[in-house]
């Protein structure tokens, strides 16, 4: 961030390096329209709709795999999501 000479500014900082934090950056291959900028702003500032949150209760005693129910005698109560590196015990949701 930067690349300009700020030595002539009133109350210029003592360093020309950026001293701060940057959050939620994005790089595009073209200029965004005002509508796209507004859409991004609205998505970042408005909370998600309540219906996108699901509360589940995990039970580590049984699972269904390819339609074949079985018993899992493990003690893990972690949720497994296929396609990730963190694949653990199957769970039943009640």
* CB 89, CB 80: distance < 8 Å: yes
pTM comes to 0.32
Overall average pLDDT of the 40-45 stretch: 82
34 pLDDT higher than 90: yes
37 pLDDT higher than 80: yes
- What pLDDT sits at residue 36? 92
């Amino acid at each position: 961030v930067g690349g300009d000479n700020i030595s002539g500014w009133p109350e210029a900082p003592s360093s020309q390096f950026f001293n701060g934090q940057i959050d939620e950056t994005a790089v595009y291959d073209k200029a965004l329209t005002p509508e796209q900028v507004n859409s991004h702003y609205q998505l970042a500032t408005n909370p998600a709709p309540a219906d996108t949150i699901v509360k589940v209760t995990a039970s580590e005693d049984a699972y269904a795999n390819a339609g074949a129910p079985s018993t899992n005698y493990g003690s893990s109560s972690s949720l497994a999501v296929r396609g990730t590196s963190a694949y653990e015990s199957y769970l039943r949701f009640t």
